[in-house]
Chains A and B, each alone.
Chain A
Amino acid sequence: DAKTTQPPSMDCAEGRAANLPCNHSTISGNEYVYWYRQIHSQGPQYIIHGLKNNETNEMASLIITEDRKSSTLILPHATLRDTAVYYCIVRVEGYGNKLVFGAGTILRVKS
């Protein structure tokens, strides 16, 4: 079973920031938080991951709370092409560990 909880859906206006929350209250000390997204019928796309520090790359920012029990993925300026299912996954890095996907959050970006 997935170890994360996400809202089933969210809407965001085009050009605004999209903030996607994720709860992972049972996360272990060596588990990373990963975010992937899946645009309709395509393979999941890696977005970002982190352990405890906030992370930023060209796609998004990841904010992890100090107690690591929740995180937020931020898409700073959402576009229509960001409409997708977003998956938050916790995983131990290394040892070839699998990804356990939950239901994710459907983000709809509207013009």
Chain B
Amino acid sequence: ETGVTQSPTHLIKTRGQQVTLRCSSQSGHNTVSWYQQALGQGPQFIFQYYREEENGRGNFPPRFSGLQFPNYSSELNVNALELDDSALYLCASSLRGGRETQYFGPGTRLLVL
């Protein structure tokens, strides 16, 4: 059984650029949730994808968007990057219809300069 993986591990972008982060779900899971964790804070929910559709969204602007693919992997896209977008981005997978415990990947550290 493979765990949740994320790529890349680290990324540096400049303000105004766009970024795509990737997540592969744990095998057998069909739901992906994305979280943003600023330095010194707990993770904040961005959105969740189930059956390739967004299923719940936190307090994040539309420039944060995502996709889920038929193999349940997912992408997080952020447009028009701002300095405050610098954070650890976490992906968690779970099984809808099962216990729904979320298991996290190692995260992608994004630095916006």
Where the two chains meet, the residues of A that have a C-beta atom closer than 8 Å to any C-beta of B are 2, 34, 36, 41-46, 49, 87, 93-94, 96-104
Contact A98:B90 (CB < 8 A) given known A42-B107, A93-B99:
no
Min CB gap A39→B, angstroms: 11
Most buried by A among B50, B99, B109: B99
Nearest Cβ distance between residue A101 and chain B, in whole angstroms?
A: 3
Complexed CA–CA distance, A101 and B33 (Å): 14
- List the B side residues contacting A87 at CB < 8 Å: 42
- Whether the Cβ atoms of A96 and B106 lie closer than 8 Å is no
Q: How far is the CB of A91 from chain B (nearest CB, A)?
A: 9
| Interface set of B (CB-CB < 8 Å, partner A) | 4, 31, 33, 35, 41-45, 48, 50, 55-56, 58, 88, 90, 92, 94, 96, 99-107, 109
A sample of 27 inter-chain contacts (CB < 8 A) reads A36-B104, A41-B107, A43-B4, A43-B92, A43-B104, A44-B43, A44-B90, A44-B92, A45-B104, A46-B103, A46-B104, A93-B99, A94-B100, A96-B33, A96-B50, A98-B45, A98-B48, A98-B56, A99-B33, A99-B35, A99-B43, A99-B45, A99-B92, A101-B42, A101-B44, A103-B42, A104-B42
Across the two chains, which residue of chain A brings its CB closest to B55? A96
The smallest C-beta distance from A45 to any residue of chain B, in angstroms, reads: 7
8 tightest Cβ-Cβ pairs between the two chains A and B: A101-B42, A43-B104, A98-B45, A44-B104, A101-B43, A43-B106, A43-B107, A43-B105
